[in-house]
């Protein structure tokens, strides 16, 4: 590989550096677990992530910043992070995916970062929500947002060689999904209702060893792009369509160059074959365990997904607790 490529493209070592930022954000969020103040939890995680990102040898631009949706503290869109030297990258950050879950002491809260080559990540920040459809590799060429929920469940079940009755579909627990949940159950499948965290739901739908077969429904548009970075590493399937709340938001999206009628696939959400997804558990969940205090150490569990090599790595780290006091 030419030296210019090493400068222009995020490499494998970058993910190992960025995991320090998600670990730091997760650890700093711990004192706020179950305390009912999601903004305080998010603020602590944002400050920790920003501080650690500033030490990483890369030139990152935040394409998708956390916080705009609910007026939380944020790493803002357009913010430059890293030392400014080394690989040039687009990044999407969510210091805590599941701030409400953290505040309530519930499962499946994550700290995460997604990375791709500079200029490849869709900036969907002008429209906060997207309708999504996520599955593993069996879904490729089989399911589509142009089909009904029942058709997608039946076709995916056939491709996976399992009865429809054994299919499990993950859906966010939101009033807007009441009819969707009924459609899933009417088709004969079961549901896994997610209180929050549809990124973890989508990743689990794309992994071969989980009980979730499909993740569908309307969630954040930033989460769709982040999920696409992970799906590319897992070889799975994702489609998403923008879901503006009203005509004013629709017009903002159009003015920003977004196509309201387009069904975005993984390539439409993030271009190319060089994506990374890094996540550390804040609270326990189906994807990773949460932060644990064990005597003099703090233990974190993280996953690193990289599309270029098609790998998923799990990292368990023990941190001396007195360094975090």
94 appears as a binding residue in the annotation: yes
151 appears as a binding residue in the annotation: no
129 appears as a binding residue in the annotation: yes
Q: How far is CA 276 from CA 118, 140, 273, 316, in A?
A: 13, 21, 10, 18
d(CA 94, CA 86): 23
99 appears as a binding residue in the annotation: yes
223 appears as a binding residue in the annotation: yes
CB distance 97 to 117 below 8 Å: no
3 appears as a binding residue in the annotation: no
What the block records as the tokens of 179 is 């009819």
66 appears as a binding residue in the annotation: yes
Closest CA to 116 of 306, 312, 311, 309: 306
174 appears as a binding residue in the annotation: yes
119 appears as a binding residue in the annotation: no
* Chain centroid, CA 146 distance in Å: 24
Phi and psi at 317, nearest 5°, equal -120, 135
Rg for the chain (alpha carbons), in Å?
19
43 appears as a binding residue in the annotation: no
98 appears as a binding residue in the annotation: yes
Q: DSSP string spanning 265-311? A: EHHHHB-SS--EEEEEESS--SSS---EEETTEEEEEEEEEETTTTE
Show binding-site residues for substrate.
97-99, 129, 174-176, 196-198, 220
Query: Annotated binding site for Mn(2+), which residues?
Result: 42, 66, 94, 97, 223
Q: Name the binding residues.
A: 42, 66, 94, 97-99, 129, 174-176, 196-198, 220, 223
């Amino acid at each position: 590989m030419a030296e210019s490529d090493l400068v222009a493209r995020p490499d494998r070592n970058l993910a190992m550096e960025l995991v320090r930022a998600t670990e730091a954000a997760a650890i700093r969020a711990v004192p706020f677990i179950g305390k009912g103040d999601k903004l305080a939890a998010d603020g602590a995680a944002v400050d920790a992530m920003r501080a650690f990102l500033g030490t990483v040898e890369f030139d990152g631009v935040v394409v998708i910043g956390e916080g705009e949706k609910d007026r939380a503290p944020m790493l803002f869109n357009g913010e430059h992070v890293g030392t400014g030297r080394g690989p040039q990258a687009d990044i999407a950050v969510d210091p805590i995916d599941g701030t409400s879950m953290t505040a309530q002491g519930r499962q499946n809260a994550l700290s995460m970062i997604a990375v791709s080559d500079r200029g490849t990540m869709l900036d969907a920040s002008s429209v906060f929500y997207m309708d999504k459809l996520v599955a593993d590799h069996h879904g490729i060429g089989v399911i589509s947002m142009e089909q009904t929920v029942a058709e997608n469940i039946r076709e995916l079940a056939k491709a996976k060689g399992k009865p429809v009755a054994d299919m499990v579909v993950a859906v966010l627990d939101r009033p807007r999904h009441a009819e969707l949940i009924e459609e899933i159950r009417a088709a004969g499948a079961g549901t896994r209702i997610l209180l929050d965290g549809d990124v973890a739901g989508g990743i689990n739908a794309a992994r071969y060893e989980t009980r979730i077969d499909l993740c569908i429904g309307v969630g954040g548009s930033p989460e769709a792009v982040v999920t696409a970075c992970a799906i590319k590493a897992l070889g799975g399937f994702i489609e998403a369509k923008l879901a503006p709340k009203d005509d004013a938001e629709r017009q903002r999206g159009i003015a920003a160059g977004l196509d309201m009628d387009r069904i975005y696939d993984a390539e439409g959400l993030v271009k190319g074959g060089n994506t990374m997804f890094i996540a550390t558990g804040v609270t326990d969940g189906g994807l990773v365990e949460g932060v644990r205090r064990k005597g003099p150490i703090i233990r974190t569990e993280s996953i690193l997904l990289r599309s270029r090599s098609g790998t998923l790595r799990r990292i368990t780290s023990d941190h001396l607790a007195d360094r975090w006091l």
